[in-house]
Amino acid sequence: MSATSSAQPVLIYDTTLRDGSQGEGVSFSLQDKLNIAIRLAEIGIEFIEGGYPLSNEKDVAFFEQIRKHDLGKSKVCAFGMTRRRSMKAEEDPGMKALVAAKTPCCTLVGKTWDFHVTEVLRATLDENLAMIGESAEFLAGHSELIYDAEHFFDGYNANPEYAIKTLQAAAASGAKWLALCDTNGGTLPERVAEVTRIAKEAMASYDVGIGIHCHNDCELAVANSLAAVDVGATQVQGTINGIGERCGNVDLIAVIANLALKKENTTVLGGRPLQQLTELSRFVYETANLQWRNNQPFVGQSAFAHKGGMHVHAINKAASTYEHIDPTLVGNERRILVSELSGRSNIEAIAGKYNVGDDKELQNKILAEVVRLENQGYQFESATASFDLLIRRVSGKFRPHFETIKYRVVAGDRDVKSQVAFAEAIIKLQVGDTLWFDAAEGHGPVNALDAGLRKALAGAYPVLSEISLIDYKVRVVDSGSGTAASIRVNIESTDGKETWGTIGVSDNIIEASWQALVDSVEYKLHRSEA
């Protein structure tokens, strides 16, 4: 549905980098966090929460480095807690860390539930109100302030009057947003709507917007977020793919799609098209080293997959018979399961970035090659450099800069004096009519291969001295095959100006790593010639 001129904008607040990273099995490197933040800004996410600067050096480094990137209208937020008991806000280490982050926005979390105040904080109810008010006043003097009312719905159920007082303390002290948090994820949609409406009415005299922050412990986070929007919330907090602690946060992919496509009087992302949603979802999965959720609404591989004969017959006549939206609206695609065809990503949407144009024959060739490789375990959503090379190969524009003659790596050797384990790689390559032979050591076989490859090519291609490997991920593709299963290796490389991802797949982890390393070097060489 198209939005009207009177449509209410709902702003999206992403906490993938903080709340999402608290999910089991999720650990983002600094470069991961930067890459995700840039992607979020590209699609128009209004608020990007970068982390808790007091908790670790990585988050401090993130805030320092993200300032070097142009994020358009997206605002980076630093997250922190109210000042400590018996300490002035300006003296509190947490408050100082938030100010030092130099973000245009700060998010302050405080206690709303009287039970938490007395039993967890070991503070009086009045002390907690002072902590909220003084912390908010201090931070509001430095940046736009968002107040997250932790356990708001549980707190309201226990002591409605006090829960509202905590909101008033933040609003009176300069908060511009009040986010009502269903921290335990146990509230039903009708109760979320009722309490959100009450809170909004109670805060009508303050110049604040109302937000909603839902967890998914009852599989209701999306429904709860939409219910809050229905009664006046104009900010939704969550994570991409719903990753997060316990059962996760609300999935912003579903929130964005539902608000934009299902609610006629609502706009998100400034009215931008949503074709990047599927790619974004898969990029975050790959970056987090998590398996895609095939049945994920809107963006999952199975979201628009049809197998039953009756279904296929129907959609061939009218797609709307078994599809609630056109899948291309969110960058996904329809799949007809009549053979072993599976694992297809949205190649048509992605290929548009590579000047394929309207050449349908070439697009079909690219698609066929991607299908072939994905059936072997390749995934290109976070391996854009390998995908670039694939297109060059299929279109006949790829020129190899070198040929691998042989390589050998020995791992597990130990320096006698230092007792430090190291690996050694021996590389033999051919560039034109010239053979290049070299060796290198590294802290592990992949590091040694990387160093050896660039060292062997240094004479022919000095530009390779600019490259460094910044991330390395390994995943078993076919766990059913045990130790003989295919291995997928994703590598992240940079030359200080650009960062790119490559991929390799083999039943041998060294071979898979070598493929990804070769692609990384070839991508750099092709780019340097452009």
In sequence order, the β-bridge partners of residue 80 are 108
Within the chain, all domains assigned CATH 3.30.160.270 are found at: 403-529
pTM for the full predicted model: 0.70
d(CA 268, CA 234) in angstroms, rounded, equals 10
Rounded mean pLDDT, 342-351: 40
Start and end residues for every CATH 3.20.20.70 domain found in the chain: 8-272
Q: Residue 100 pLDDT > 60, yes or no?
A: yes
**What pLDDT, on the 0 to 100 scale, is given for residue 346?**
38
Q: Judge whether residue 357 has pLDDT over 80.
A: no
Fold for domain 403-529? Double Stranded RNA Binding Domain (3.30.160)
Question: Sign of the CA dihedral 453, 457, 459, 461?
Answer: negative
Q: How far apart are CA 215 and CA 181, in angstroms?
A: 8
What average pLDDT does the segment 160-182 reach? Answer: 98
Q: What is the pLDDT of residues 429-452, one digit of tens each?
A: 999 999 998 888 888 888 899 999
pLDDT bin (cut points 50, 70, 90) of residue 314 is confident
Percentage of the chain beyond pLDDT 70 is 90
How many Å apart are CA 34 and CA 529, to the nearest integer? 27
Distance CA 253, CA 230 (A): 18
Can you list the pairs that 332-337 forms with residues at least 24 positions away whose Cβ atoms lie under 8 Å?
A: 332/277, 332/278, 332/298, 332/299, 332/300, 332/303, 332/304, 333/304, 334/304, 334/305, 334/306, 335/301, 335/302, 335/304, 335/305, 335/306, 336/305, 336/306, 336/312, 337/305, 337/306, 337/307
Q: How does pLDDT run across 206-236, given as a tens digit for each residue?
A: 999 999 999 999 999 999 999 999 999 999 9
User: Euclidean distance between the first and final Cα of the chain, in Å?
Assistant: 42
Answer yes or no: are the C-beta atoms of 488 and 474 closer than 8 Å: yes
**pLDDT of 344 above 50:** no
* CA within 13 Å, CB half, 109: 20
The CATH homologous superfamily to which domain 8-272 belongs is Aldolase class I (3.20.20.70)
Distance of CA 260 to the CA centre of its chain: 20
Structure tokens at 321: 């018979």
d(C-alpha 168, C-alpha 308), whole Å: 55
Residue 442 contacts residue 410 (beta carbons within 8 Å): no
Report CA Rg, the chain. 26
Nearest-angstrom CA–CA distance, 481 and 372: 20
Residue 172 dihedral angles phi and psi, to the nearest 5°: -65, -20
Per DSSP bridges, beta strands 403-414 and 421-431 are antiparallel
SS3 530: coil
The overall longest dimension of the chain from CA atoms, in Å, is 82
> Residue 104 CB: number of other CB atoms within 10 A?
14
Can you point out the beta strands (E) in 373-433?
403-414, 421-431
Residue 368: the pLDDT is: 83
- pLDDT beyond 50 at 341: no
- What local confidence, expressed as pLDDT, does residue 443 receive? 82
- Over residues 375-427, the pLDDT tens digits come to 888 887 678 899 889 988 998 889 999 999 999 988 766 665 655 667 889 99
- pLDDT band for 471, please (50, 70, 90 cuts): confident
- Residue from 201, 517, 248 nearest 386 by CA: 517
pLDDT in tens, 157-169: 999 999 999 999 9
pLDDT exceeds 90 at position 312? no
How large is the average pLDDT for residues 112-135? 95
The alpha carbon dihedral of 15, 18, 22, 28 has a sign of positive
